[in-house]
Structure 1
Amino acid sequence: MKRSQPWLVLTVLACLVFFPSACKHRDRTSQAELDTPRHHVIAGSVFLQSEKYDSALREFQRARELDPAFAPAYIGLGILASLDQNCPSGLALMQQAESLAHNDDERVQVLIGFIRVYSGCREKLDANWLSLVEKTYRQARQIDSQNAALWYYTGAAYKSVSDLDRAKEFFDDVRDYSNDPFLNKKAKEALAHIKEIVEAKPATEAGKKIVLKPFITRAEFSYLLIQEGKAAFLASGRTAALPADVKGHPYLEEIGLAIAMGVPGMEVDEKGAFRPEDKVTRCQYAGVMAAMLKKGLGESRRLSPETVETSPFSDMTDNEDCLESMMIALQNGMLESMDRRAKTIGPQQPISGVDALLGIRAFARQVNKSGS
């Protein structure tokens, strides 16, 4: 028996998820041809799903070259433009796709594409972008009320504005009624993320936005520590000189208090810069949280482990500088393993917004417990 080809399976799945109309062969000749609009849209869809955007762009562009009237090519190009924050181009491409759609299947895909472009460009569109999503959803639902991609991307739009109850309804539908493996997996991931956000309980508007992010900056970390975690008490009333690279920053006050806490990892560098837009790695995050915990607990409790001689993680060596901090953060509930089976902790991976806030909540519980 021949083994199945994983790439072929992925190709077919991506085709069915993103552009099902492109999967339908209109004639026998095109089945035998690789250089066809349909083939390139299918390949582009696989690359888009895998976040290989340059490759996806080449495929969609080639599809358009071969057939300038092929609507799915414009859908792919429009989505890519929105991901690149080229919103006028994204909307124009979707309008072209709309004018070229020749059946209900393509019309639904165009409407889903519009939802994705509106969501991707939400920071650059006016405040009514979510109303556009809702209107477009209603239009698409009239054509195909059981479309899992329509459910998923509408749910993603609600999640992006922290309307978690509505988002959950859509993701629940995908999980419970869709047989599509890709969308089913994405919906389950989104539901798990929503559960974590609810547990983290962001209390501020900025905090609600930060917890949605797959990575956070040093400035956003400062905000979470001070405004959500109420960690300014570690500064003991001290103030810090503000470095030039944070002047005018929206989180200027929080950065100043974070520096004044005097914990390693939140200080300015040797050039006197704070680097507010640098991403925070899990290693850096653990270093800050472990230092804060030591300072917050004072002499009331020894932290375990006091020394670490052997790394329990497959992706960390015994002599890495942040191994002890990672262990302290892990054992005090301020950090979770990335993969328990593989024993990975991801020291150089970025810390996500929700993971950071969950750890900050664990820090506050530990400090409050020691003071009670």
Structure 2
Amino acid sequence: MWKRASIPAGILTIVFLAAFWLGGCGPKPRPPESALDTPEHHAFNGFKLLEKERIQDARREFELALQLDPKFSPAHRGMGLILGMNEEFKQAFRTMRLAKKYAKNKEEKAMAWVGNMRLYTMWKGEDWLEEVEDCFEEAKDLIPDLPEAYYYLGMAYKAAFKFGDAEKAFKKVLEIDKRLVGPADDQLKVVQKIERAMPGTEIGKHIAVLDRITRADVAALFIQELHLDRVYEKARPRTFDTSFKSPKEAFNRKVALIPRDISDHTLRTDIEAVLALDIQGLGIFPNGTFAPDKYITRANYAMMIADIIATIKHDPSLNSRYVGSPTPFLDVRNDVPYFNAVMLCTTWGGIMEAKDGVFNPMGYVPGADALLIIRKLKEELKIF
């Protein structure tokens, strides 16, 4: 009797794909073990797992589908996407060709073209956006109103910073009103936020499309988009340390101010610039690190923004204005360290928002939200 556990993960799929690439017939399909042990069911699960970024679990499901039917087009499409996510693009495109080859109907073939669209968007090689558009036309010729084709066209335009075109594509998904309506609506709101925020720099555009941003990203936004170093130079009185220091003491002090984990970071210059500004919540940790790749929460961001407001307004009382006040939020107590900052950011110009009394303090900050908050901050403080 065939035993699933006796075959190492990935081995059969590699054998199947290698056989197909070499023009052979591949191994003999295995018999199903239960009513739900079907290629369709495993592929369905695989795509659901991909949506949740559970890549290895998705791979297992696609492998099981291919064991049952080595010519099952959706499973090849799923495996192609996984190879692309692992940046194995040569194999990914070859696998996607198998998805087209074994397509049993127009929809499977169109979805294989959509798979190619996704691969080119991951790859971002020469003329990648033109390749995406060509694949889109192929899919549209097969099925004119395929929601997936328009959705991933929108995702490609978003990745290329063509936000107006992305908006049109996502609206088309809503107009078709079949699959992907929820995700398309979410992405439409994101690109509309980005358009409202109007990032003025290339790095701002790159950060705008991120689902969540890091401490290093925030440093770059504060320096590149908000120009906070120049703003603080005008807002803060200059101070001078005239005490004598030996060359060795001066050198040691300078070295001590550089966190050990940013020396090779691509955003080191922005991080060093922001550290000199002494922004609450965006400094060096007690262990001497900056943690540049740590994702920030909405509570973190509120503390940073509140500190910037108090500094530019020359009003230290803002740092404690709401201490002891009753909380209007369902998820923020008035005794947590970030309560005053959250209150300031949600009441002062509505720079940050709470929906139905929920602030979501531990939620991550998307790039579009971070930029829109900076845009509102610039307008309220008249920073131009």
2:288 equivalent among 266, 269, 272: 272
Distance 2:265 2:59 in 1: 35
Aligned-pair distance for 1:79?
1.8
How much does 1:58 deviate? 2.3
Match of 2:183 in 1: 186
Which of 200, 203, 206 lines up with 2:200 in the alignment? 203
Residue 336 in 1 paired to residue 353 in 2?
yes
Measured against aligned partners, the alpha-carbon deviations of 1:71-125 in whole angstroms (never above 9, x if no partner) come to: 1111112223333444344323212222322432221111011111222333xxx
Aligned pair in 2 of structure 1 residues 189, 238: CA closer, same or farther (>3 Å)? farther
The 5 Å alignment of 1:1-372 reads 33-122=35-124, 126-180=125-179, 183-232=180-229, 233-234=231-232, 241-299=257-315, 302=318, 305-332=321-348, 333-337=350-354, 340-341=355-356, 343-368=357-382
CA contact (8 A) 2:76 2:99 kept: yes
Supply the distance in 2 between the matched residues of 1:146 and 1:101 (Cα, whole angstroms). 19
CA distance in 2 between counterparts of 1:309 and 1:80 reads 51
Shift of 1:170: 1.3
Change (3 A) 1:263 1:162: same
**Alpha-carbon offset, residue 303 of structure 1:** 7.0
How far the C-alpha of 1:51 sits from its partner, in A, is 4.3
For 2:317 and 2:332, locate their aligned partners in 1 and report how far apart those are by CA, in whole Å. 27
Give the distance between the partners of 1:255 and 1:51, measured in 2 at CA.
30
Deviation at 1:35, TM superposition (A): 1.1
Could you tell me whether the CA contact under 8 Å between 2:215 and 2:292 is conserved in 1?
A: yes
Name the aligned partner's letter for residue 259 of structure 2: P
Shift in Å, 1:259? 0.8
Aligned residue for 1:245, secondary structure, equals coil
Q: Which runs of 5+ in 2 are unaligned?
A: 1-31, 241-253
Displacement of 1:316 after TM fit? 2.6
- Structure 2-normalised TM-score? 0.79
Structure 1, unmatched stretches of 5+, are 1-29
More displaced 10-residue stretch of structure 1: 309-318 or 133-142: 309-318
Shift of 1:55: 3.5
Q: Distance in 1 between matches of 2:47 and 2:70?
A: 18
| Distance in 1 (alpha carbons) for counterparts of 2:205 and 2:217 | 12
Q: Deviations over 1:115-165 (max 9, x none)?
A: 11222333xxx2321121111112222222221111111111111111012
**Judging changes above 3 Å, is the alpha-carbon distance between structure 1 residues 107 and 272 closer, same or farther for their aligned structure 2 residues?**
same
Taking the aligned partners of 1:354 and 1:117, their CA distance within structure 2 comes to 24
Q: 2: CA distance between counterparts of 1:187 and 1:344?
A: 24
Determine if contact 2:323/2:339 at 8 Å carries over to the other structure. no
Q: Distance in 1 between matches of 2:372 and 2:128?
A: 30
Q: Cα distance 1:166–1:40, how it changes in 2: closer, same or farther (>3 A)?
A: same
Q: Distance in 2 between matches of 1:38 and 1:361?
A: 47
Compute the displacement of 1:258 (Å). 0.8
2:226–2:378 CA contact under 8 A, matched in 1: yes
SS at match of 1:92: helix
Q: CA deviation at 1:43?
A: 2.7
Question: SS where residue 38 of structure 1 aligns?
Answer: helix
Counterparts of 2:204 and 2:369 in 1: how far apart (Å)? 12
Once the two structures are superposed, what CA deviation does each residue of 1:273-293 show, in whole Å capped at 9, x if it has no partner?
A: 222111111111111111111
Structure number with greater Rg is 2
Q: Name the SS for the 1:133 alignment partner.
A: helix
Cα distance between partner residues in 2 of 1:42 and 1:202? 38
Does the Cα contact within 8 Å between 1:75 and 1:94 map onto a contact in 2?
yes
Q: What's the CA shift for 1:361? A: 2.0
User: Is contact 2:310–2:316 with CA below 8 Å preserved after alignment?
Assistant: no
1:361 to 1:159, Cα distance in 2 relative to 1, 3 A: same
Contact kept? 2:46, 2:62, Cα under 8 Å: yes
8 Å contact kept, 1:155–1:171: yes
- For 2:24, the equivalent position in structure 1 comes to none
- Residue identity over aligned pairs, in percent, reads 28
Contact 1:238 1:260 in 2 (8 A): no
- Separation in structure 2 between the aligned mates of residue 299 and residue 313 of structure 1, nearest angstrom: 25
